[in-house]
Amino acid sequence: MSTQASITIGELEANYQLYCKAMKMLIAEKRSLTKIKRTVCWARLETLHHCLPKHYKSPDYLYAQLLRSEQQQSSPC
């Protein structure tokens, strides 16, 4: 039986941009939402949103924003 190392909210907040960047990379790689939801970055973003909902958007919302941004960048004008 393995024990999972606990992470503090402060550590999650400090790495927020890293989690967003990871999700952006997964979207750029054309990963499915199902696969993205199984990643560490999704779980950490969910935890942040659950603990501090006024400060951090849900991962679903971030996914939609990043996906829209990716589609706009890749579509011809």
Domains of the chain by residue range: 10-72
40 vs 8, 16, 26, 47, CA distance in Å? 15, 12, 12, 11
Q: How confident is the model at residue 38 (pLDDT cuts 50, 70, 90)?
A: very high
Q: Give the count of beta carbons closer than 10 Å to the beta carbon of residue 37.
A: 14
pTM: 0.85
pLDDT for 29 equals 96
CB 39 within 8 A of CB 26: yes
pLDDT for 73 equals 85
CB 70 within 8 A of CB 27: yes
pLDDT over threshold 90, residue 74? no
Tokens 């999700």 -> residue: 23
CB 41 within 8 A of CB 23: yes
